[in-house]
Each structure stands twice: as C-alpha cells, then as structure tokens.
Amino acid sequence: MHKTSEHDFEIFKEECIYHLREYGFGDFSFFFEHKNQKELGQINAWELGDHNDKNIVLALTKNWDSEPTEYEIRRFAFHEVNEALLDKLCLLAEKRFGVTTDDIEETRHGIIARLQYHFFDQSLKERGLSP
C-alpha cells in the first residue's frame, strides 16, 4: 500500500482550483479532503457536488495501490472537476428521463475520458508542467 503525502494533496488542490476557475465555478465554495476512503472500493479521488447550495467537495485518498505520480494526481484532480461539471446534468437526466445510474455513469466517464485525452496534457504543457 502506498500513501499520498501532504505535498501530493497540495498538488491535487492546486490542480482542482485551476480547473474549477477555468470552468467558471467562481460562485461555488470548494472544500478539500485528504483521507482514507477505501470503503468505496479502489478509488484514488472522489467528488461530491451540491449545485443547489453551490458547494463542491473534492478528495484525494491517502492509500493507493501503487506509488502516486504527480501526473496521476493532477489527472485525478482534472477528472474530479469534470465530475463536478457534469453532476447536475446527470442528476437531471436520472430524474427527468429515468435513465439508469449505470448508463449515466458510463456516459459521464466516457465524456470525461475524452476531455482528459484532448485537453488535460495540453493544459499541463501550456502551464509549463510536462506530462
């Protein structure tokens, strides 16, 4: 078992804040957590958004199965911010159209994978942070 450090957590927060600002979440409050969260399975980071109260919690898990790299930590931060971006849309789809949670999650993660593939590495390069 490998642990993320306080330095890793600072990188995670920095990357989250960068993308939250880029996406225009300036009217939201952000909260960050660095904790053990393996009861959810093999999750290295997670997000919990409340668009009604305009709060977003972004968390980095302390225990990882492999040694975390800076690139992975930044990529997880980008991923979780995109989760926040899609939260309300996914919630409305489930309530309004009766789409299953599994279908929504599959589609949501497909969109996030495309965003990561097309924008994440470019964003790092533009900021002088090579992938």
Here the CATH number for the domain that contains residue 7 is 3.30.2010
Cβ atoms of residues 79 and 46 within 8 Å: no
Total domain count for the chain?
A: 1
Residues 57-103 have pLDDT tens digits of: 999 999 888 899 999 999 999 999 999 999 888 888 877 777 788 88
DSSP structure class, residue 26: T
Q: Are strands 29-35 and 55-61 parallel, antiparallel or unpaired?
A: parallel
Contact 60, 73 (CB under 8 A): yes
- Residue-wise pLDDT tens digits, 1-33: 788 999 999 999 999 999 999 999 989 999 999
Q: What is the pTM of this model?
A: 0.86
106, part of any domain: yes
Whether 131 is covered by a domain: the verdict is no
pLDDT in tens, 50-61: 878 899 999 999
In a domain, 119, yes or no: yes
- Residue 39 in this model has a pLDDT that exceeds 90: no
Q: Which domain holds residue 91?
A: 2-126
